Amino acid sequence: MTRLFIVLISVLGVVFSGQGLAKPTPDNTLSISAAFEFTSLDPSKNGYIFSRMQIIETLLDVDENGELIPALASHWSISNDAKTWTFDIRQDVHFHDGSLLDAVAVVNSLYIALQKHGALRKAPIEQIEALGKHKVVIRLSSPYVVLGAVLANYANAILSPSAYAKDGGVLALSSTGPYQLYQFSPPHKLVVEKFDDYWGKKASIPYASYLTGHRAESRVLQARSGQADIVFGLDPATLPILKRLPNLTLHSNAIPRTIVIKLNSEYPFLKDIRARQALSDAINRVGIARGVLRTPGAETEQIMPASMSNWHLDVPNKGSDGKAKAEALLAELGWQKNANGYLEKQGDIFTIRLITYADRPELTTVATAIQAQWEAIGVKTKVDVTNSSAIPMGHQDGSLQAALIARNYGFMADPLAVLLADYGKHGGGDWGAMNWHNDAVSTLLSELEQTTDAQTYRQKAQQVAQLIYNERPVIPVTSYVQQTSVSKRVKGFRFDPFERHFLLNEMEFIR
């Protein structure tokens, strides 16, 4: 039945396409490769790929500076008590099924999103109401400053009423973007077609295809051979080779994502803050940034990049004497090196299992470097490369000891929503702290949800950042740089630092 459904989706995409009898060919299709898989049409599950391919849109968007900007809402306002948000819905906007966007369609989509997993469910929403054809009002029981950022998230995309089944399931991906779905072949292939009735900047390239490239090596081969016009998530180690190819242009872009080590603070050897600090001090971040990632200056001891200034502390990275500091801290805790060079205390060897995943190729090489640096101070370290799903699974069942991850703090326009998930509740979150709790952090994060004064917001955010910095429930390693190759047959490529859109409608083929 599932296979039949997928075939039907593909066929319907061709039947109702604006290109008539035209079909995708290598000449008229922009081909993209990245590591993301997808399995569902539901934006609450796989909206990250549908947003990137510019099929779906939300009420608000995010600019390159992380500021909220109009999208399907042409304007919005917030009441003095911050409990009523009013949105003017853009007029003359067509869904891909030909129907017109109106307030009723927006309310319908948002109420369905409220019933599904996502940040919108955590908002204190009392009512979502359509006032006339082009105005939507959201009433809250208490101020919630991140509502705009939450509404801009892909999980809260606006679909046409006909896109949904009676139970809220998504039957067809009929939204309002500059591209519409043409072929849906999960988990690896997706093809979109330009939508001629788009309300904004219309696309020039007729089709775009997305192909999941699990292995970093396969993505490099796609770039070298020309099989893919744009390849995201290249292994930094391959950049010198790719730079020599005349058919490619390489782009290195900083994004609000940080490579961090998630720690289980209840793991016996990591309960003491000094042990976590020692592991942090032992890491040669400068060496990893330069030698492994080939991005000098990317080293960091903070979870947030400097671009998120409210959450970034004005403290320098530590110097090069980290190994000596780490050894001194561990000695304070009673650890001494045995004949084999490993730390031992009361018959226990300081061992740690560090897991990571291959979806982002640089993580495995960074994990290997960290393994060597921890072994140098006597910590017996085992690195396991597994699937990314092992991280939340290990968090939930308590088996995780340490995990090297790439945490996206730009997942929402306001990182407060991410921090609430990672550090705001007892025990932490799947991609944040584990078995770590700080009452002050929880209180401050809760207060920030209702803080509308900019100066007070910054003060509280800085306090949160300082507490996380001091207690090291996670260990930041480097800021993240996205490595991308672009074929020289493509003009107009621009990277979205918040990774919301591939900006397909800004690109053209050079003929």
Q: What is the CATH number of the domain that holds 467?
A: 3.10.105.10
- Residues 143, 286, single domain; the answer is no
Of 126, 161, 196, the position where a domain reaches its end is 161
Q: Is residue 246 part of a domain?
A: no
Q: Does any domain span residue 195?
A: no
Residues 263, 157 share a domain:
no
For residue 116, report the phi and psi dihedrals to the nearest 5 degrees: -110, 170
CATH of the domain at 97: 3.90.76.10
Q: Which amino acid, one-letter code, is at 14?
A: V
Question: Which of 191, 230, 299 has its CA nearest to residue 495?
Answer: 230
In the listed set 161, 177, 210, which residue is the last one of a domain according to the structure?
A: 161
Q: How far apart are CA 478 and CA 460, in angstroms?
A: 24
Q: What pLDDT, on the 0 to 100 scale, is given for residue 330?
A: 98
* Same domain membership, residue 262 and residue 140: no
Same domain flag for 157 and 286: no
Helices 454-471 and 416-423 cross at an angle (nearest 10°) of: 40
Nearest to 69 by CA among 496, 507, 506: 496
* Residue 228 included in any domain: no
Inside any domain, residue 18:
no
407: Cβ–Cβ under 8 A, 6 or more apart, which residues? 257, 258, 259, 260, 303, 418, 422, 431, 432, 474
Q: Looking at the structure, do residues 276 and 404 belong to the same domain, yes or no?
A: yes
Q: Which of 410, 400, 348, 414 is nearest to 378 (CA)?
A: 348
Structural domain span for residue 268: 254-481
Question: How many alpha carbons fall within 13 Å on the CB side of residue 216?
Answer: 18
Strand order in the sheet with 135-140: 73-78, 84-89, 135-140, 125-130
* Domain boundary, last residue among 117, 138, 161: 161
d(Cα 349, Cα 313) in Å, to the nearest integer? 35
Identify the burial level of 451 via C-beta atoms within 10 angstroms of its C-beta, where 0-12 means exposed, 13-18 middle and 19 or more buried.
Answer: buried
Same domain, 459 and 352: yes
d(CA 209, CA 221): 17
Q: How far is CA 503 from CA 197, 462, 481, in A?
A: 17, 33, 18
The answer to whether residue 489 sits within a structural domain is no
Q: For residue 197, tell me if it sits in a domain.
A: no
Co-location of 292 and 441 in the same domain:
yes
Beta bridge partners of 325: none
pLDDT value of residue 21: 54
CA atoms of 212 and 190, how far apart (whole Å): 9
Q: Do residues 279 and 148 share a domain?
A: no
Residues 442 and 314 in one domain: yes
Number of domains present in the structure of the chain: 2
- 99/364 Cα distance (integer angstroms): 48
* Residue 443 belongs to some domain of the structure: yes
At CA 256, angle to CA 251 and CA 260, rounded to 5? Answer: 105
Please tell me whether residues 156 and 279 are part of one structural domain. no
Structure tokens that stand for 360 in this block: 């982002």
Q: Is the dihedral of CA 40, 42, 46, 49 positive or negative?
A: positive
Distance in angstroms (rounded) separating the CA atoms of residues 358 and 339: 35
Q: By the 8 A CB rule, do 415 and 311 touch?
A: yes
Three-state secondary structure call for residue 43: helix
Determine if residue 364 is left, alpha or beta; phi over 0 gives left, psi from -120 to 50 gives alpha, anything else beta: alpha
Round to whole Å and give the CA distance between 420 and 132. 35
Judgement on whether residues 148 and 262 belong to the same structural domain of the protein: no
Environment class of 249 (CB within 10 Å of its CB; exposed 0-12, middle 13-18, buried 19+): middle
Instruction: For residues 450 and 308, state if they share a domain.
Output: yes
Q: What is the pLDDT of residue 222?
A: 93
pLDDT along the chain (511 residues), means of 10: 42 44 91 93 96 98 92 97 96 98 98 92 95 97 94 97 96 97 96 98 98 86 94 91 95 94 98 98 95 92 90 81 93 97 97 93 94 98 94 96 95 88 87 96 94 93 97 96 95 95 97 82
Output DSSP code: residue 294: -
Strands 29-34 and 230-232: parallel
204 token code pair: 């020039």
35 in a structural domain? no
Longest dimension (CA), the chain: 78
